[in-house]
Amino acid sequence: MQLLGVDHTNFHRNRLTHSLEVAQIAESIATNLGLENPVVSETCSLCHDMGNPPFGHAGEKILNELAEDIGGYEGNAQTFRILHRLEKKHYAFAGLNLTVRTLLGVTKYFYRKGENPDKPNKFLYNDDYHFLYREIKDKQIDIKKSIDAQIMDLADEIAYAAHDLEDAISFGFITLSEMMYEFDIDEEFKSIRDVFKNEIATPARIVALKGRENNRLNTSEEYSFILRKELTSNIVHILMNDIGLVDKDGSKQLGYKNKNFIKLAEGLKKLVFKALLRKKDIQLYEKQGERIIRGLFEVYSDSKFNKDLLLLPPELRAITKNVSDDYSIIKRVIIDYIAGMMDSFAMQEYKRYFGSSSLDMIYDRNLWSNQF
């Protein structure tokens, strides 16, 4: 989730550390399943968040709104676009020239926009969808999500459930007692309270207490640190080792064999997400991100101020060569540039164009004024 702002001085996870954790879990799952070349699953997991824009889900929502007339914006679709078209490493071809298996492995949603029955806003861009369809149609491959993509998805879910929980507890966003209470009052997840307590929380406490009894932990901070590490290790171990083939939607797919573990993963994600979103600082950070993305889009879209797209990197300008009158291509390239920024760089660029103190004020009535 990585909802913590860049101004936090303590260690917290970001897209890079999260991707490394997902890749490690994915490689273990693939190895446990006896999958040939588990490095492909690991590679897909390392790549899985490349298309995530600055400011996370809030940034993705704004970019999708800005790109509505050119096919929208979606993080997974952007990952495919980066790997297949944007990340140029050789003069002879665009993208990284990856195998079809790898490209299928990073494709969570093999649908065109609006065609996904469960998640209509999750899709591939049209040109990438048609490319991938052409690649597999004559190879007797009839799938919506490959086994590598399923492994990547499960590894991502486990990393969120475990490691975001560790960060949330570390920063005081939620406590174990609050989690147990939330499980008690939420009818959907009430049944997994004892699973979490008996399989994860209590064993973690026992290990941490043993450290104290053996005089290896001298402070409450050390105890809390060990407790958090044991919690995450237990979550990863339990969920990862329960993965196998299960019946889902009329076919055999990878999933948790223990139905309680399905709810456990969902419940942990839901509780952590709820704990993070109720924090005012995170809400304000996302609002600030919206201002930044809209502002940068306005700057780069101004044909007088950004004449010949000189404010964009040369490799992106090259895509628009000989199509200077094609608004959709130019707009897509501008979206590509903003989407590829880290939060800190986006802030830096915004201040470059709007002034060093331009982010001191968060509320803007032109963006959000809608009185109760």
Per-residue model confidence as pLDDT tens digits over 126-141: 999 999 999 998 776 7
Alpha helix segments (H runs only) across the chain: 15-32, 38-47, 56-66, 75-81, 100-105, 126-137, 147-159, 165-170, 176-185, 193-196, 202-213, 220-240, 259-277, 280-301, 314-317, 327-339, 343-354, 365-368
Contacts of 120 (CB under 8 A, 6+ apart): 113, 114
Higher pLDDT, 325 or 230: 230
CATH 1.10.3210.10 residue window(s) in the chain: 15-137
Looking at per-residue pLDDT, the higher value among 117 and 254 belongs to 254
pLDDT single digits (tens) 217-264 = 667 788 788 888 899 999 999 999 999 999 987 788 999 999 999 999
How does residue 52 score in pLDDT terms, banded at 50, 70 and 90? very high
Q: What pLDDT is recorded for position 172?
A: 87
Q: Binning pLDDT at 50, 70 and 90, where does residue 323 land?
A: confident
Three-state secondary-structure class, residue 251? strand
pLDDT digits (tens, 9 = 90+) for 66-107: 999 999 999 999 999 999 999 988 888 889 999 999 999 999
Range 208-233 burial, b when 16+ CB lie within 10 A, else e = beebeeeeebeeeeebebbbbebbbb
Mean pLDDT of 347-356: 96
Neighbours of 114 (CB within 10 A): 9
Contacts with 171 (C-beta within 8 Å, 6 or more apart), sequence order: 4, 8, 10, 12
pLDDT class of 63 with cuts at 50, 70, 90: very high
CATH, range 15-137: 1.10.3210.10
- How do residues 277-312 score in pLDDT, each as one tens digit? 778 888 889 999 999 999 999 999 999 999 999 999
**Confidence at residue 280, expressed as pLDDT on a 0 to 100 scale:** 83
Q: What is the pLDDT of residue 368?
A: 62
Calpha distance 134→360 (Å, rounded): 50
- Alpha-carbon span 201 to 196, nearest angstrom: 6
Task: Round to whole Å and give the CA distance between 240 and 238.
Answer: 6
H or E segment to which residue 252 belongs: strand 251-256
Name the residue with tokens 């390392």.
46
Q: What are phi and psi of 243, to 5 degrees?
A: -75, 135
The answer on pLDDT for 4 being more than 70 is no
Distances (CA, A) of 192 to 154, 180, 216, 243: 19, 10, 33, 18
Tell me if 177 sits within 8 A of 261, measured CB to CB: no
Mapping DSSP to helix (H, G, I), strand (E, B) and coil, where does residue 305 land? coil
Whether the predicted model's global pTM rises above the 0.75 cut: yes
Q: Percent of the chain scored above 90 by pLDDT? A: 56
pLDDT confidence of 6, banded at 50, 70, 90? very low
The pLDDT score that the predictor gives to residue 9 is: 45
Q: What is the pLDDT of residue 130?
A: 95
pLDDT at residue 329, rounded to an integer: 94
pLDDT(370) > 90: no
Question: What confidence category does residue 33 fall into, taking pLDDT thresholds of 50, 70 and 90?
Answer: very high
> What's the pLDDT at 215?
66
pLDDT of 272 > 80? The answer is: yes
Over residues 151-199, the pLDDT tens digits come to 999 999 999 999 888 988 888 888 888 888 888 888 888 888 888 888 8
Measured in degrees and rounded to the nearest 5, phi and psi for residue 156 equal -65, -45
Distance of CA 314 to the CA centre of its chain: 28
